[in-house]
Chain A
Amino acid sequence: MSEIEIESRNLDLWYGSAQALKEITMAMPEKKVTAIIGPSGCGKSTFIRCINRMNDLVKDCRITGELLFEGTNIYGNSVDAVELRKKIGMVFQKPNPFPMSIYDNVAYGPRVHGLRNREELDRIVEESLKASALWNEVGDILDRSAIDLSGGQQQRLCIARTLAVKPKVILFDEPCSALDPISTAKIEDLINTLKHDYTIVIVTHNMQQAARVSDHTAFFLLGELVEFGKTKQIFELPEKKSTEDYITGRFG
């Protein structure tokens, strides 16, 4: 078993007085894909947004317990959320390229972090677009607006934009829910390739997708972690009744 990259210990989260996550304890190994499944409103997106502190934007959001990244508590006093997000990138549910050129989208992150050298930027843009399997389609139209791309291309552009920052972890928050099956297949292929270099956590409501891409799967229900284990085991021999009910489609 490989090293643990992210570990959650008794993580509780409240929005105001409503508790959205209850005592989440699980460990996500390095350079593996961990899928989080569960019905809508089960807290899976809330959980993944804890990992890069996106919930900081939400008012009245309170967190207790520990969430460790490389051994340090993400919510510790000495941790700078801005620095943390350089190491933990995120791809969102709806493709959200900036309304600028394809090149500027990918170069945004490196520029944020102070890179001005044009040649270096060119190299990063090309590398990132190749790594996200988009280079062949957009390599000669880098000046075009990213908004003109198709939904699937936009999502791969968002992945390239995340890769350009050279993170260690990539969080995918239902990355295919707005895409057609062909685009979805491309993204899944991409995740399979990316896991050699990155630790990946993916939230999905599509169980087949979790089964196809992940090494480990966590099943969330009503803010609680019901079951966590090897994907094969979760799908073939779930220990809990509710997990079995969910993956066999009895609810959700």
Chain B
Amino acid sequence: MKTNERIIELLLFLSAATAVTIVALIIIFLLKEGLPVLVKVGIIDFCLGMKWNPIAIAGEPSYGIFPMIVASFYVAIGSLIIAVPLGLACAVFLAEIAPSWARSILKHAIELLVGIPSVILGFVGLVLLVPFIRDHFGGWGFSILAGSIILAIMALPRIISISDDAIRSVPREYKEASLALGATHWHTIRKVILPSARSGIVAAVILAMATSIGETMAVLMVVGNTPILPTPIYDILDPVRPMTSNIVLEMSYATGDHASALFATGIVLFIVVAVLNVISHRALKSKMGTRR
């Protein structure tokens, strides 16, 4: 009996340890592969370098990923600008206004949206969105705008469901107090419910940003992938190359320093996403702290 318990506990511990070990191994591997080029080029020159030219025909190759870091943030922030107002409005509707039948239809639709493989979204973007942007807004079509729209569609369900949870977890007493003072429902939503749900909503937004930055396939298919800054810098119709695309596009033929530079791109990407996840987690936790 006693030994049985011991063995089960040990097995459970090993299972838990496996997850941690895998993460640790991945980080170690990333560092081992990526560090050589980071040391050689220098972290600052690597992150802030403007020129990505890994296979130089004449002269030294250069590994600067600044345009790609900018591109990753550009596309992710662009997606948030589209998805946050839309998602928040949808969450408010779901949590506060929708009758139960509408709520269940919407909930199912949103779950379906999560289930769409990113490559399909990318494909739709490629054949519908890119030509649409080319014909109606100009430019090449492959652009920051196209990437942002596709990412926004992917971010929507996440933003909606986490915000919906946050809004629904606002104590009913707050709502009643506000209504009892003669506030309208809309006023109550704006002044009491949304502020009380704020930390949950912030967490949702940051988490969505982290996922958007890490998203690869759908973005790759519509952003055009040129490793330079848009000119002028605010031109959202210009093509760009986010960090994720950079790795996918070149890894099949990269060798030596070039391969190492791709791993180094991975390290930067990993750090950015990890930091965003931590911030998102903190935001959620601080909410718990202020709760009665």
Contacts and interface: CB of A to CB of B under 8 A. Distances in A.
B196 interface: yes
B181 A162 contact: yes
Interface in A72-120: 82-86, 89-90, 92, 94, 96-100, 108-109, 112-113
A82 B178 contact: no
Contacts of B182: 82-86, 109, 112-113, 165
A86 B196 CA distance: 23
Nearest to B182: A86
Nearest to A167: B182
A191 to B, nearest CB: 17
B173 interface: yes
Chain B interface SS verdict (over half): helix
A85 B177 CA distance: 11
A57 interface: yes
A52 interface: yes
Contacts of A92: 173, 176-177, 180
Contacts of A156: none
A113 B171 CA distance: 23
B180 A52 contact: yes
B292 A161 contact: no
A57 B116 CA distance: 37
Given A99-B196, A99-B290, A108 B178 contact: yes
A89 B179 contact: no
Contacts of B180: 52, 54, 85, 89-90, 92, 162
22 contacts: A54-B176, A54-B180, A57-B176, A57-B179, A82-B182, A83-B182, A85-B179, A85-B180, A90-B180, A92-B176, A92-B177, A94-B173, A96-B173, A98-B178, A99-B196, A99-B290, A100-B195, A108-B183, A112-B178, A162-B180, A165-B181, A165-B182
